[in-house]
């Protein structure tokens, strides 16, 4: 998928009203399923998952606030952000003063509509711009929330690209936000594109598992259902906010120095970026990194959680995300997978002194005229650190050389009989 194709997918998914449960999630996964075969799991309301319980399922058909002329001054059909997520059904007539406690605005951003939810406390409310609220008369207003909150299921989906190894690389993104293009849909689009690129490249070494599920409760549910196979997870990333104009930001895993942490920071070092230490706040890396699991999971975004003015507002629309930004995120992730796929630990079979590379035809085997010296340097670094303890990623990190060049040098040395792979 090109950046334009990823952006088109964001635009197609944007109008759907998603939440942590319901038909909006199912419709989103149906569209994703047009590009990737998905295994969809429905977990019934009331299922105990770790310390949580799968909630009732919420669906909504319509909602509005009408003035005395019958005009919809707040209209769910215009934007699904106008209703507080999980609002219970309501129908009645109210003066403005009685409505005010249920009306949510952003006074500091008066033209924008906020995104608000109330998943685990039964209530109702509306979101609107401060500009609209300031223009409302005293009422009365006709209010309708045509929704259902009843026993149903939580829906999550997986796509797997099988590899040579049972060891898994897990990429997780959330599908629970309504019309928010960056904080939700850009990550979904980039994940879809990455899965397609990995599959098109041929059978990978690792198995790649892509998770599309609601935030927090979705990850908790998946972890509860899959405890017996968590030991297979060698590397993991949560992916969100993947399309805004900001530089890439990586949040380290709880471990801080897991191979995924070193692989991502190595890839990002040659482009504008930020690296943050782990904190138990943000996206679902905090579930995978909870102390009982302590999985090697980092988080990749562009501008981080709550770090841009459009975050959780109507300003986070398809115009806010760009094809170029999504392509840049995709390219970085692709490079990370190339590091994870190519990383090996080798043993130098001629460790006493420097082996004679010239007579083996190795000095001129790497690079063109402009980077021959770098290729030779990569060989020397690989030979020196191939002691069965340092991986190629260690070599690239310590030497400052590109991982691809280090891997190429290692393969040339292996083919010349100077290295063997160390288990």
Q: Which residues pair with 49 in a beta bridge?
A: 52
Order of strands across the sheet with 153-161? 39-44, 153-161, 207-213, 168-174, 233-239, 297-301, 248-251, 273-276
**Nearest one of 161, 300, 167 to 230, comparing CA atoms:** 167
Note the residue count of the chain: 423
Which residues of the chain form CATH 3.50.30.90?
58-150
Which residues of the chain form CATH 1.10.10.10?
345-421
Binding site annotation covers 174? Answer: no
- Give me the residue label for tokens 């699904």: 80
Q: What pLDDT was estimated at residue 364? A: 65
Rounded CA-CA distance 59/61 in Å is: 7
Binding site annotation covers 177? Answer: yes
Q: What pLDDT was estimated at residue 366? A: 56
Q: What pLDDT was estimated at residue 369? A: 44
CB-based contact 305:282 (threshold 8 Å): yes
**Nearest one of 317, 320, 279, 275 to 300, comparing CA atoms:** 275
Q: What pLDDT was estimated at residue 371? A: 61
Read off the tokens for 46: 């009331």
CB count within 10 Å of CB 139 equals 17
CATH code, residues 345-421: 1.10.10.10
Which residues of the chain form CATH 3.40.630.10?
3-55+153-342
Q: Under CATH, to which class is 3-55+153-342 assigned?
A: alpha beta
Q: What is the pLDDT along the chain (423 residues), one digit of tens a residue?
A: 899 999 999 999 999 999 999 999 999 999 999 999 999 999 999 999 999 999 999 999 999 999 999 999 999 999 999 999 999 999 999 999 999 999 999 999 999 999 999 999 999 999 999 999 999 999 899 999 999 999 999 999 999 999 999 999 999 999 999 999 999 899 999 999 999 999 999 999 999 999 999 999 999 999 999 999 999 999 999 999 999 999 999 999 999 999 999 999 999 998 999 999 999 998 999 999 999 999 999 999 999 988 999 999 999 999 999 999 999 999 999 999 999 999 999 999 999 998 988 888 887 655 554 567 888 899 999 999 999 999 999 999 999 999 999 999 999 999 999 999 987
Q: What pLDDT was estimated at residue 98? A: 95
Residues whose CB falls within 8 Å of the CB of residue 361, separated by 6 or more in sequence, listed in order:
416
Binding site annotation covers 394? Answer: no
Q: What pLDDT was estimated at residue 139? A: 82
Q: Are strands 72-75 and 57-66 parallel, antiparallel or unpaired?
A: antiparallel
Q: Which fold has domain 58-150?
A: Glucose Oxidase; domain 1 (3.50.30)
């Amino acid at each position: 998928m090109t950046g334009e194709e990823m952006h088109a997918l964001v635009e197609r998914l944007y109008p759907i009203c998603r939440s942590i449960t319901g038909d909006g999630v199912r419709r989103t996964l149906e569209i994703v399923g047009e590009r990737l075969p998905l295994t969809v799991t429905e977990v019934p309301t009331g299922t105990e998952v770790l310390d949580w319980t799968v909630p009732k399922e919420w669906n909504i058909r319509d909602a509005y606030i009408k003035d005395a002329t019958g005009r919809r001054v707040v209209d769910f059909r215009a934007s699904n952000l106008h209703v507080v997520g999980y609002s219970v059904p309501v129908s009645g007539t109210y003066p403005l003063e009685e409505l005010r406690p249920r009306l949510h605005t952003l006074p500091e951003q008066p033209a924008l509509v906020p995104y608000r939810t109330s998943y685990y406390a039964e209530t109702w409310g509306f979101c609107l711009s401060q500009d609209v609220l300031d223009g409302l008369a005293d009422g009365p207003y006709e209010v309708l929330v045509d929704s259902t909150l009843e026993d149903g299921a939580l829906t999550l989906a997986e796509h797997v690209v099988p590899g040579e190894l049972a060891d898994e690389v897990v990429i997780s993104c959330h599908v629970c936000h309504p019309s928010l293009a960056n904080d939700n849909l850009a990550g979904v689009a980039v994940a879809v594109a990455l899965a397609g690129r990995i599959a098109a490249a041929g059978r990978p070494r690792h198995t790649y598992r892509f998770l599309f599920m609601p935030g927090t409760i979705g990850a908790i549910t998946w972890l509860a259902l899959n405890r017996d196979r968590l030991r297979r997870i060698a590397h993991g990333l949560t992916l969100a906010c993947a399309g805004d104009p900001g530089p890439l930001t990586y949040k380290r895993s709880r471990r801080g120095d897991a191979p995924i942490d070193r692989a991502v920071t190595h890839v990002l070092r040659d482009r504008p970026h930020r690296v943050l230490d782990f904190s138990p706040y943000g996206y679902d890396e905090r579930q995978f990194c909870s102390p009982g699991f302590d999985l090697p999971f980092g988080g990749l975004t562009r501008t981080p959680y709550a770090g841009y003015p459009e975050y959780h507002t109507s300003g986070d629309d398809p115009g806010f995300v760009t094809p170029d930004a999504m392509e840049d995120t995709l390219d970085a992730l692709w490079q990370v997978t190339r590091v994870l796929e190519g990383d090996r630990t080798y043993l130098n079979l001629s460790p006493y002194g420097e082996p004679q590379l010239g007579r083996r035809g190795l000095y001129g085997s790497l690079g063109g005229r402009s980077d021959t010296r770098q290729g030779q340097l990569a060989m020397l670094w690989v030979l020196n650190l191939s002691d069965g303890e340092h991986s190629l990623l260690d070599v690239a990190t310590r030497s400052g050389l590109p991982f691809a060049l280090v891997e190429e040098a290692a393969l040339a040395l292996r083919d010349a009989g100077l290295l063997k792979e160390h288990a």
